[in-house]
């Protein structure tokens, strides 16, 4: 079984047509579905929240397919997605409500929400409850890298996602966000 770091890859990752956008509708629907599953799975285990379309992303090329011909390293390489295909698969995730969002108008960066914002908010509330943090104050950075969050999904969570979840909770009156002492960090006051 092929792996990517500590991520176990499914068998069809070696199937060359998986890396070519299929023109036939039924086939393509299935292909897009499989890509969506794989991207979410991979991002979750690797804690990746942003995929840049123009950057290297390990999932988007398969060196095992590529290596069948050593002389090809030029423009398009075998077993790797074209820009069009990458955009198509990510767009499919975006169109499925709450699974991904484009970060810019040019569709160059995509925010992957392997937990939906609502789920992140629930995780935050549980985190507050479990650690008895009601009525106390924390900075955003503390939530991401503090000792309390170690070993939870919140550890190292993307700042953009965290801020979205926090704003959702503020909207519901579960906490208050205020400017902290340092310029680039906000303070959070959880309410009871």
Partner 1 sequence: MAGAALPTAELTTSGRPILLPNEIECSLLSNVELEPEGSPPLSSSIHLRSSFLILTTHRLIFVSDSSAAAANTASYVPLASVTHIFLLKKSIKSMFGSPRLKVQLSVGSDGRVGGMGTRSIVATLVMRGKDDVEAFVDKFRQNWGARVWEREKESESASSGSSLVVESSASSSGFDSRGMRVVGVAGILRREQEMWESTDKSLQDAFQDLNALMSKAKEMVMLAEKMRLKLLSGPSQAGSSNDEELGSKEEMQDWLLSVGIVSPVTKESAGALYHQQLSRQLADFVKIPLERSGGMINLIDMYCLFNRARGTELISPEDLLRACSLWEKFDVPVMLRKFDSGVMIIQNKSHSDEEVFARIKLLITRPDALQMGVSAGDAAMTLGIAPAMAKEHLLTAESRGLLCRDISPDGFRFYINLFPEIRTDDIYLVKDQGIYATWIKCASSPSRLQ
59 DSSP assignment: G
| Region from 77-85, 132-140, 154-162, 167-175 binding partner 1, contact rule CB under 8 A | 77-85
Smallest CA-to-CA distance from 66 within 83, 80, 86 is with 80
Q: Is 159 in the site for partner 1 (CB under 8 A)?
A: no
Closest contact distance (angstroms) between CB of 93 and partner 1 is 14
3 state DSSP class of 67: coil
- What does the alpha-carbon distance between residue 159 and residue 167 come to, in Å, rounded to a whole number? 12
Cβ contacts of residue 123 below 8 Å, gap of 6+? 115, 152, 153, 154, 165
Q: Is 62 in the site for partner 1 (CB under 8 A)?
A: no
Q: Which is nearer to partner 1, 12 or 83 (CB)?
A: 12
Contact of 174 with 191, CB cutoff 8 Å: yes
Pick from 62, 74, 163, 188 the residue near partner 1 by CB under 8 A.
74
Q: CB count, 10 Å around CB of 93?
A: 22
| Region from 74-82, 102-110, 111-119, 147-155 binding partner 1, contact rule CB under 8 A | 74-82
- What does the alpha-carbon distance between residue 14 and residue 131 come to, in Å, rounded to a whole number? 45
Pick from 7, 14, 109, 180 the residue near partner 1 by CB under 8 A.
14
Q: Which is nearer to partner 1, 33 or 118 (CB)?
A: 33
Q: Is 37 in the site for partner 1 (CB under 8 A)?
A: yes
Range list of H helices, 1-105: 25-46, 63-66, 83-95
Closest contact distance (angstroms) between CB of 182 and partner 1 is 44
Q: Which is nearer to partner 1, 34 or 168 (CB)?
A: 34
Q: Which two tokens stand for residue 91?
A: 């767009």
| Region from 12-20, 86-94, 148-156, 161-169 binding partner 1, contact rule CB under 8 A | 12-20
121 DSSP assignment: H
Q: Which residues bind partner 1 (CB under 8 A)?
A: 8, 10-12, 14-17, 19-20, 22-24, 26-27, 30-31, 33-34, 37-38, 41, 68-69, 72, 74, 76-79
């Amino acid at each position: 079984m092929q792996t990517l770091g500590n991520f176990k890859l499914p068998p069809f990752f070696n199937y060359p047509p998986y890396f070519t956008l299929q023109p036939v509708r039924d086939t393509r629907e299935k292909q897009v579905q499989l890509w969506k599953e794989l991207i979410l799975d991979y991002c979750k285990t690797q804690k990746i929240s942003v995929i840049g379309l123009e950057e290297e992303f390990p999932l988007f090329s398969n060196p095992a397919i590529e290596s069948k011909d050593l002389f090809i390293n030029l423009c398009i390489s075998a077993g790797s997605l074209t820009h069009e295909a990458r955009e198509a698969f990510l767009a499919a995730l975006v169109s499925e409500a709450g699974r991904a969002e484009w970060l810019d108008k040019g569709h160059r960066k995509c925010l992957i929400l392997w937990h939906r914002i609502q789920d992140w908010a629930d995780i935050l509330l549980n985190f507050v409850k479990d650690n008895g943090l009601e009525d106390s104050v924390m900075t955003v950075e503390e939530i991401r890298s503090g000792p309390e969050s170690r070993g939870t999904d919140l550890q190292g969570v993307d700042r953009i996602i965290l801020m979205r979840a926090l704003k959702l909770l503020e909207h519901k009156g579960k906490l208050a966000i205020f400017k902290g002492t340092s310029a680039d960090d906000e303070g959070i006051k959880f309410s009871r």
